[in-house]
A and B are shown apart, each in its own frame.
Chain A
Amino acid sequence: MWQRSPIRTIECLNLYRPPDMPPSPSAVVAARGLEKRYGTLPAVRGITFDVRPGECFGFLGPNGAGKTTTMKMVYCVLQPTAGDLSVLGMDVRAHPRRIKARLGVVTQDNTLDTALSVRENLLIFARYFDLSWDVARQRADALLDFVALTDRGRDTVEQLSGGMRRRLMIARALMPEPDLLILDEPTAGLDPQARHLTWQKLRQLKRTGVTQILTTHYMDEAAALCDRLVIMDHGQIVAEGAPDALIRTHVGREVVELHGFAGDDDSREILAKVTEVAGDLADQYEAHGDLVLLYTRHGEALLRRIRGSTIGIEAATLRQATLEDVFLRLTGRMLRE
């Protein structure tokens, strides 16, 4: 279990301030000061973002950060409490039905119709969009092929594996040929093979020009799919940018991990020594339980210097900085439930 350590040399910097963006007419989704409260409980607290045509835009954040609530407002199932939100150039309060007619939504929970077969799920869904049976059949067959479920068309939903159900959810969302695809944790709970297959399909879709919004708490997923992303925490956006740029801005290029701190008073001394030895080679420090992270642009040199010193450390390793470092830096390491 992660716990906030008593030793914490650098406070988590929250430098991000939402830019005072003018509404952009070309944006697929434009949110300005968007808020959602459940009673008095705030879920989303004034967020501002633009999703541009053709991009894959990610929402990252720990559980309870407000990602799903934001998604539900975008796909017009929840009304915003305050602020402006336009989707495909239409106000969500004024035209929910017209907006929804042009969206494909993959909800966090599978909402497949278990009374229907795999193929029928696509057909009936198409009817909700008022498509003719002919068009529905054509698209269903093409999409079953796209998500590699052609030979499972007659099966019941219960006969599908978790990965297949997720792919069926994606195929179903694509039935109306949406202008915007919204994916709320598209690969949660899938095994690595199923995740990679899903990613491949999503990238393939992106090449056809479908704008995508996705939420995830898998950092590798965000890095693999998103052109730009925001990190949300406690209902607010704490960072925004392309994955690479976020890593560079918030943690630098490399990370030296030092393991084996006891987390008691002694370690405070050891940490002091580490910072002394590292000197200006490390840009930032962070201590979490038995782990100390040194963010640096000179990984090799820093590692050599620490190994050459007299500090008693179990293991020191050098690795590339990842989005996960950004995420944990910005949202802290407290367990969210």
Chain B
Amino acid sequence: MKPLFWPRGALRFWQRNVFIFRRIFPESIAVNFLEPVIYLLAMGFGVGAYLTTIGGLPYLTFVATGLVSTAAMFGATFECTYNAYVQMYYEKTYDGAITTPLGVEDVVVGEILWGATRSVIYGTVFLVVIALFGVVRSPLALLVPVLFFLSGLMFSVIAMTFTAVNPNIDYFPFYFALFITPMFMFSGVFFPLDALPAWVSTATWFAPLSHVVHLSRALILGTVGPHHLRDVVWIAGVTAALFPLPIALMRRRLLK
């Protein structure tokens, strides 16, 4: 069987993205720091003034341990929606790269890897900020970047799939309004899911972010149990199952 992609080729395209990112690295990271601080001030001290504890946790702690996963999700999602689309459609970067030994599959995998990398960068910056706010309670928090790489792959694969079939850049707001925002609201970031009606609570099981939030909260607070393995399997399974999809769709789009 033919391999799905050429690892060295994917690595080369990933390195291109790293090369470009290096230039905006300091500014980009500075902006990354700002965002969580604003969130934590608003949610923790604003909302937190009325809602003191949730499930025995200070509200600031509850929100911060979930928001960190959201940051990671947005890192991968922006990379593999708008950024990928501009490079594919307007800049024709992909068309240029595939005239080299790289194939479409290598470019797509390189982008997905880069989306996951952005996810780790965004999420880890957020994690450092909440550590400064005194939220982190367990050394298991050091595994959170690993979680973000895995979840970053998942969100990148999903975003690239949409990008590959998206006819027009103006359709991305649909992706955000119909998928990302509801997930942002109903994945247990701002309130526990068991507070919801049973059917909504069940539905959130299908939201990829809910599993990431579940894991990040447990790792940061040191409350990991065997049932968390189910979340890992869910994320890994969905990622592996969807992985060939953006490759096939992007190939169909570019090779004509």
Report the minimal beta-carbon distance from B115 to chain A, rounded to whole angstroms.
Answer: 16
Residue in B closest to A110 when the chains form the complex, CB atoms: B92
CA A124 to CA B14, docked complex, whole Å: 11
CA A110 to CA B92, docked complex, whole Å: 8
Chain B 1-39: CB-based contact to A (< 8 A → 1; otherwise 0): 000001011001101100110000000000000000000
Listed stretches B53-61, B97-105, B182-190; interface member: B97-105
A78 touches B256 (CB 8 A): yes
Q: Which residues of B contact A109 (CB under 8 A)?
A: 92, 95
Indicate whether B96 reaches chain A with its CB closer than 8 angstroms. yes
Q: Which residues of B contact A100 (CB under 8 A)?
A: 99-101
Indicate whether A307 reaches chain B with its CB closer than 8 angstroms. no
**Residues on A facing B (Cβ under 8 Å):** 38, 75, 77-79, 96-97, 100-101, 103, 105, 107, 109-116, 120, 124-125, 127-130, 176
Residue in B closest to A38 when the chains form the complex, CB atoms: B256
Report the minimal beta-carbon distance from A52 to chain B, rounded to whole angstroms.
Answer: 23
Indicate whether B203 reaches chain A with its CB closer than 8 angstroms. no
B96 touches A120 (CB 8 A): no
A128 touches B20 (CB 8 A): no
A107 touches B8 (CB 8 A): no
Q: Which residues of B contact A125 (CB under 8 A)?
A: 96, 100
Q: Which A-B residue pairs are the 9 nearest by beta carbons?
A: A111-B96, A128-B100, A105-B99, A111-B92, A101-B101, A115-B20, A111-B95, A97-B101, A100-B101
Q: Which residues of A contact B95 (CB under 8 A)?
A: 107, 109, 111
Across the interface, A77 reaches (CB within 8 A) one of B6, B12, B98, namely B98
B103 touches A97 (CB 8 A): yes
Could you list 18 A-B pairs, sorted by A, with CB under 8 Å?
A77-B98, A97-B6, A97-B101, A101-B100, A103-B99, A105-B99, A107-B99, A109-B92, A110-B92, A111-B92, A112-B96, A113-B96, A116-B19, A128-B9, A128-B13, A128-B100, A128-B102, A130-B12
Per the 8 Å Cβ criterion, residues 82-99 of B in contact with A are 91-93, 95-99
For B, the interface residue count at a CB cutoff of 8 angstroms equals: 23
A77 touches B255 (CB 8 A): yes
CA A113 to CA B87, docked complex, whole Å: 9
Report the minimal beta-carbon distance from B111 to chain A, rounded to whole angstroms.
Answer: 13
CA A75 to CA B101, docked complex, whole Å: 10
Q: Which residues of A contact B19 (CB under 8 A)?
A: 116, 120, 124
CA A176 to CA B102, docked complex, whole Å: 13
Report the minimal beta-carbon distance from B18 to chain A, rounded to whole angstroms.
Answer: 11
Across the interface, A127 reaches (CB within 8 A) one of B6, B15, B91, B92, namely B15
CA A103 to CA B250, docked complex, whole Å: 23
B20 touches A77 (CB 8 A): no
Q: A38-B256, A77-B98, A101-B101 are in contact. Are A130 and B8 (CB under 8 A)?
A: yes
Q: A100-B99, A105-B99 are in contact. Are A127 and B256 (CB under 8 A)?
A: no
Residue in A closest to B6 when the chains form the complex, CB atoms: A97
CA A105 to CA B16, docked complex, whole Å: 19
CA A100 to CA B93, docked complex, whole Å: 17
Report the minimal beta-carbon distance from A64 to chain B, rounded to whole angstroms.
Answer: 14
Q: Which residues of A contact B8 (CB under 8 A)?
A: 130
Among A78, A105, A115, A120, residue most surrounded by chain B Cβ atoms (within 10 Å):
A115
CA A125 to CA B91, docked complex, whole Å: 15
Residue in A closest to B9 when the chains form the complex, CB atoms: A128
CA A101 to CA B8, docked complex, whole Å: 13
A127 touches B16 (CB 8 A): yes
Q: Which residues of B contact A116 (CB under 8 A)?
A: 19-20
Report the minimal beta-carbon distance from B139 to chain A, rounded to whole angstroms.
Answer: 38
Known contacts A77-B99, A97-B101, A105-B99, then 16 further A-B pairs from the complex at CB < 8 Å, ordered by chain A residue: A77-B98, A78-B255, A100-B99, A107-B96, A107-B99, A111-B91, A111-B97, A113-B93, A114-B91, A116-B20, A120-B19, A124-B16, A127-B15, A128-B97, A130-B8, A130-B101
Q: Which residues of B contact A130 (CB under 8 A)?
A: 8, 12, 101
Residue in A closest to B8 when the chains form the complex, CB atoms: A130
Q: A77-B98, A130-B8 are in contact. Are A111 and B93 (CB under 8 A)?
A: yes
B256 touches A129 (CB 8 A): no
CA A126 to CA B217, docked complex, whole Å: 44
CA A158 to CA B179, docked complex, whole Å: 35
Q: A38-B256, A78-B255, A111-B92 are in contact. Are A129 and B20 (CB under 8 A)?
A: no
Residue in B closest to A121 when the chains form the complex, CB atoms: B96
CA A100 to CA B96, docked complex, whole Å: 12
Residue in B closest to A157 when the chains form the complex, CB atoms: B91
